[in-house]
Structure 1
Amino acid sequence: MTVTNVLLSGVVGSTAYGFAHAGSDVDRLGLFAAPTEELHGLRPPKESHVTTDPDRTLHEAGKWCRLALSGNPTVMELVWLPDALYEVRTPLGDELIGIRTSFLSARRVRDAYLGYATQQFRRLLARGDGSFSADTRKRTAKHARHLKRLCEQGYELHRTGRLTVRVDDPAAYHAFGEQVAADPEAAEPLLSRFETAFAETPSALPEEPDEAAAEAWLRRVRRHFYTPDLSTV
């Protein structure tokens, strides 16, 4: 996959969280800018490019902004990565990192992170009592790790306005995953605890994101990549 105008890209997922082991896939996430002229035609350019070999997702800048403003946990981690995990970092990408807190709001972070964690919990319960194949147990443990991560990271964002992508104690997440793989209902106390914590802890975030900052950045991107197509004049 060849995508031009990549503004920011880095290694995310299990490698970034500290969960990876030998043989783990390496996931990459980034954003690119479509040529501004192409946004005005009958058929707008693709907003996302996804490949599986290698595992890479690139979102167009406008789509990335909309997802980030909704509190989407997956896209949000791109602007909070440790420096060493960035593989492409342009001046406009640095500007985006500089306004990353503008995309945050208490309500949307709470709804998105707890919402994703609740979805993971429902998937775990749908798999039964743990008496399933080794492959299913492996996937269940993985989903349990991410349920715990979503709760911890979402609560950190809610409470402090900052996100630490790499977890403090990966071994604790792996242990939790194995516990839940044996008994999916073991995840319920953790989810309940964080539901209460979100409800009772004052947030460092505003109730609404600063869409004006996001809009201003996106307009700078559009200006930067605007080249008139004189052949149609």
Structure 2
Amino acid sequence: MSDRNDLLLEGVVGSVAYGLNTTESDVDYLGIYVEPTRTFLGLHPPTRDRGTRHGRDGADATYHEVGKAMGLILSCNPTVSEILWLDNYTVATDFGAELVSLRSCFLSAQRVRHSYFGYAMAQFRRMLHRRETQGLRDPRLAKHARHTLRLLWQGYELYTTGVLPVRLPDPEPYFDFGRQMMEESGETAAKALIADYEQKFDTAKTALRQCPDEAPLEDFLQRLRRAHLDNW
């Protein structure tokens, strides 16, 4: 469980943030925390494997150390990147707010396309696997379908506008698509959706730079580490 005193940012993510929650949905939290700089100077510094904590008063919550989080956001990981694009935060320190203000510096066209399209394809493959192994009545098929469409739409919006809309303007088409996946025609519709978005990405003019702007991010992290260095 994360020590809330070291949090930089925390917010509600997942289905509730997207507007895709149902009565069965949990409230998911995502956050970024900072380790004291002295811990990086000892025998057992934090590593990528050790840079994640879980749990928040019994709720589903994931917290990444800021160094790990920034690396994941630089790769345009959709699950972590959305923390910088929320409308509201349950925790936002001055450093956390500054990190949000730098969110566009993390973006690059190729990584956004690769990550969002790749995550959508992973959801698509899980969906097909469930159809084959569990049958059409498995309710998780609908969830995989909703998130396949969500990832494609969000990724395309980010790619073409430079802005990541976390909350969907109208959730109903996503629920409709989820219900369709529980029908025989679902696989054909899903394959057509993937092909359509692949063509849209291929022909779109991106609003993103080709490489991220790392200099402001490096400056931010260096100042943050100095601010959390103990006096000797």
The TM-score normalised by the length of structure 1 is 0.92
Match of 1:181, SS?
Answer: coil
**Which residue of structure 2 lines up, in the alignment, with residue 58 of structure 1?**
63
Match of 1:59, SS?
Answer: strand
Partner amino acid, structure 2, of 1:48: T
**Which residue of structure 2 lines up, in the alignment, with residue 20 of structure 1?**
21
The question of 1:104 aligning with 2:107 is answered yes
Alignment of 1:129-140 (within 5 A): 132=135, 134=137, 137-140=138-141
Q: 1:130 to 1:176 in 2, by over 3 A?
A: farther
**What is the CA deviation profile of residues 74-109 of structure 1, one whole-angstrom value per residue up to 9, with x for unaligned ones?**
1111111012xx100110011011110000000000
Partner amino acid, structure 1, of 2:109: A
**Which residue of structure 2 lines up, in the alignment, with residue 219 of structure 1?**
222
Tell me, in whole angstroms, the C-alpha distance in 2 between the residues paired with 1:226 and 1:181.
54
The question of 1:210 aligning with 2:213 is answered yes
Tell me, in whole angstroms, the C-alpha distance in 2 between the residues paired with 1:146 and 1:23.
16
Partner amino acid, structure 1, of 2:44: R
Alignment of 1:1-233 (within 5 A): 1-3=1-3, 4-45=5-46, 46-51=50-55, 53-83=58-88, 86-128=89-131, 132=135, 134=137, 137-182=138-183, 183-228=186-231, 230=232
Unaligned runs of 5+ in 2: none
Q: 1:130 to 1:168 in 2, by over 3 A?
A: farther
Q: What is the deviation of 1:2?
A: 3.9
Partner amino acid, structure 2, of 1:76: S
Q: 1:44 to 1:68 in 2, by over 3 A?
A: same
Tell me, in whole angstroms, the C-alpha distance in 1 between the residues paired with 2:168 and 2:136.
28
Q: What is the deviation of 1:186?
A: 2.0
Q: 1:76 to 1:209 in 2, by over 3 A?
A: same
**What is the CA deviation profile of residues 24-74 of structure 1, one whole-angstrom value per residue up to 9, with x for unaligned ones?**
200000100000010121212330002383100000000000000001001
Match of 1:8, SS?
Answer: strand
Tell me, in whole angstroms, the C-alpha distance in 2 between the residues paired with 1:142 and 1:2.
28
Q: CA RMSD in A?
A: 1.6
The TM-score normalised by the length of structure 2 is 0.92
The percentage of counterpart residues that share the same residue type is 46
